[in-house]
Amino acid sequence: MDSAVIFDVDGVLLDLTAPEEDALFLAFERLHGITGLSRDWDSYRVRNDEHIIAEILERHGVPADERGAIAAEYLTILSGGLNAQTLKAVEIPGARDLLAALAGMRLGIATANLLSAAKLRLQACGMWEPVAALAFGAESSGHKRETVAQAIAATGLPKNRIIYVGDNLNDVDAGLSNGVHFIGFSQYAARRDRLATAGARHLAGDHVTTLELIRRILG
């Protein structure tokens, strides 16, 4: 029977590095001289790059129509850094092998990152093509549950044939509120404990375990 696995990107497929984070905030400094911005993603009203850009501009009295320019500058910085290898996208151990092992299933991503940025970073690690057909990002979305809902709808599959894999509390909410199977992934035991407390029934600390859980859940 057809089935799908949807992945969060950061913390599940890629390890978000500080220099990659800096690329977004550097765009604000270059275009508007805005510095000292919080790197705590949970400090923003909506944990979604499109909304974070809008919130920062609002706080600093910059017209909302500058959002596109900030996003474009961010992508320019990110692309330039990856091409020059001054920035490096870092694979979560075993992520590429996991995607290869799931080649018979429909694979996708639901990320709070701008989709164009996620694509650049996944391409740098050779992991874009397996998930490209069901790829959803921050654009025209809101909270993670909305982004995951878009990916679920695009599969056209019954919810009991879909798994979402994420590493944050908002991912637990996204999986459970959308009625699909959820796997809480983290390399760190303390984070897995928090995911379990929030309601995650299936937990993995490495992608060998993730693969085992996917096969067990979907048969």
> Using the 8-state DSSP alphabet, how is residue 167 labeled?
S
pLDDT at residue number 141: 84
- State the Cα–Cα distance between residues 78 and 63, nearest whole angstrom: 24
- Write the pLDDT tens digit of every residue in 193-206: 999 999 999 999 99
pTM, two decimal places: 0.95
Which pair of tokens denotes residue 11? 């913390």
Residue 117 neighbours by CB distance under 10 Å: 23
Tokens of residue 85, six digits: 């290898």
Residue 159: CB partners within 8 Å, gap ≥ 6?
152, 178, 179, 180
pLDDT tens for the chain, 219 residues long, are 699 999 999 999 999 999 999 999 999 999 999 999 999 988 999 999 999 999 999 999 999 999 999 999 999 999 999 999 999 999 999 999 999 999 989 999 999 999 999 999 999 999 999 999 999 999 888 899 999 999 999 999 999 999 999 999 999 999 999 999 999 999 999 999 999 999 999 999 999 999 999 999 998
- Is residue 155 a contact partner of residue 4, using CB atoms and an 8 Å limit? yes
Please say whether the beta carbons of 97 and 208 come within 8 A. Answer: no
